[in-house]
Chain A
Amino acid sequence: MKNAYENEMKLEFLSKSCNESFARITVASFVAQLDPTIEEIADIKTAVSEAVTNCIIHGYEDKEGIIKIECKIFANSIKIEISDNGKGIDDIEQAKQALYTSKPEQERSGMGFTIMESFMDELKVESVLGVGTKVTMKKIINKGVTYV
């Protein structure tokens, strides 16, 4: 059976804050095969870190749960899906607003979704209350390069 994607990987880990660096470094190493620039790698690492932090702080509210990451490579683009089975987001539009945070007492900046949106080329957020949240991000690598 031929796969629709050229390469893909799946990752599952516990919602512990020490796994944040593990998650972003793993995704960055997987993306390396597309030969990204240092800036593109930094963008992806930051976006993944934001999404995983959201799962830990907001999705599971520091309780233990499983965070899943799926990465798919197609041509020169990478699709990253990060999902949790946490409490879900009530109002996605409000959550995406810059500087909005549901946890101001924790010194959160409210910049998470804004950074994901501007560092990646596409961002989609799906959420069901009590079921979980899935963030899908896409980035085209080596935009300047023309493929024949």
Chain B
Amino acid sequence: MQVDYNKKDKQLTIKITEEIDHHSCEKIKKRADYEIQIHLPKKLVFDFENVNFMDSSGIGMLIGRYKLVSMFGGKTSLINVKPAIKKVFEMSGVLKLIPIEENKNMGGAKVEECI
């Protein structure tokens, strides 16, 4: 898992680098919550470039982080989501809360607001 914080844009980018299931969620959750509480980002971006698998545990985990960031007015979004994982997202309806940004953005680069 790689974490990058851009002070200027108050954007926290979390790049997950493993398969997301019930087992790995605990670890991801702990690290993400720690980073969110330190930085209080206006924008939280989960980078899925290196995620090849996710089951519904990932949905629960993402909604939890979305709620945390929303408490102080931050937004959450996803980038670089692979088709197989997009299918899980689409089924859950979670994309209404946590949209996928089409533009590929790495690190703390500014991400255009997604409509």
Contact = CB atoms under 8 A, between A and B. Distances in A.
Interface in A103-138: 106-112, 114-115, 118
B20 to A, nearest CB: 10
A8 interface: no
A107 B91 contact: no
A53 B57 contact: yes
Interface residues of A, number: 25
A53 B63 contact: no
Interface of A is mostly: helix
Interface stretch (A16-24, A67-75, A78-86, A139-147): A16-24
A118 B55 contact: no
20 contacts: A17-B22, A20-B21, A20-B23, A21-B23, A24-B53, A39-B84, A46-B54, A49-B21, A49-B53, A50-B56, A53-B57, A57-B22, A106-B60, A107-B29, A107-B61, A108-B57, A109-B60, A109-B63, A112-B56, A115-B88
Interface of B: 19, 21-23, 25, 29, 53-57, 59-61, 63-64, 83-84, 87-88, 91-92, 94
Interface of A: 17-18, 20-21, 24, 38-39, 42, 45-46, 49-50, 53, 56-57, 106-112, 114-115, 118
